[in-house]
Structure formats: structure tokens, C-alpha cells
Amino acid sequence: MKDMWYVIQVAEGTEENIIPKIGRALENVPDCNFIVPKYISNRRYQGMWHEEIKVLFPGYMFVDTVHSEEVLEGLKIFSANVKPVCIGGGFYPIRKEEQEFLLSMMNNRYEIELSVGNIVDGRLIVDAGPLKNRSSSVCRIDRHKRTAELVLTLWGEKRRVKVGLQVKERLTGDEYRRRAVS
């Protein structure tokens, strides 16, 4: 981690492909790291479950740098497809606590791995994965798509993002406790 994450808006679906072009435009800016956060989920097709990796913030990426002015200047060569996100009237980084929260959920490839849990007495209990001890952030679960929708604060506003979540079973508290003991 260099220092701070600045947000760049790109055409949705081009988050990975645009990195070399932006890298060439910013080749004179030292210590720029481009980050496209992703999440891992499972999807069923052809009768089997397959792991999928999807972009966490479609249409956005981060640049980790301490040289924000140089980045801002270098991005001027791009059309509307690539533009810096100005927060609060300027090209400012996301808040440190927001960055730390995202990093705490990600692996070293900036991916949020699949979490696994159960519905116990109508409440989500996550047994493994980045959502463990964070189930209060989950506002919606789609068991069929194996995703959870989280509410998190980013850019100073509440945002919803999808992450991977496999809910194994719906249990009563007694059933869950019996399984935990055995």
C-alpha cells in the first residue's frame, strides 16, 4: 500500500483492460498501483457450481498513490471514458477507515473471497470467510445466486455492494448448537 486510494471512473466492463492504457499515460508518475477490487462467488450452470470472480464496483477502480496531482494531470488525455472521481469538490482519496475496511475483507489479490454460513432462527451466522463477525453489514441475501448485499460507507455515503455468500442451511438455534458441538 502506497498511501491513499483515489477513485477513477471507467466504462463498465473495461476495469481490467484499461489499466495498461492508464499506466502508459501515468508512466512518469512514480509509485502508482491500480486496484480493481473483486469478489468471488459461485454460479450454477451445466449442473455444477463454478467459481466466478466479479468486479466489486463496476465502472470504478482505484489508484493507490501519494502523487494525486500528477495522476489528475495524466488523466486529462482521456475522454469521458476515464475520469477522476472528485469527492467533495476535489480529487481526494477515500477515507482511511473506508480503505482499511475494504483491505480487511480482501486477500492479497484485492478479492473478497466467498463466505459460508447458515440462517439460524432467521439470522445470518457466518462461519467462515470475510463476512465472519460482519453479518450485521448484510442487508440482503440471495441464496440462489449465492450472494449477499452489504451496506458500507464509501466516499462518505452509504453504498450497497454484492459479495459471495453460500448459505448452507436454515436451522434452529438448537440444531446449530448441536452441530457446533459435534
Question: In what order do the strands lie in the sheet containing 111-112?
Answer: 48-55, 38-45, 111-112
- Kindly indicate the confidence band of residue 1, based on its pLDDT and cuts at 50, 70 and 90: very low
36-94 per-position pLDDT tens digit:
999 999 988 899 989 999 999 999 999 999 999 999 999 999 887 899 998 777 888 99
Contact indicator for 43, 54 with CB cutoff of 8 Å: no
HSE, CB side, 13 Å, CA atoms: give it for residue 81: 13
Give the span between the Cα atoms of 34 and 19, in whole angstroms: 7
- Kindly indicate the confidence band of residue 2, based on its pLDDT and cuts at 50, 70 and 90: low
In the DSSP assignment, the letter for residue 125 is: E
107-126 per-position pLDDT tens digit:
999 999 999 999 999 999 99
pTM: 0.88
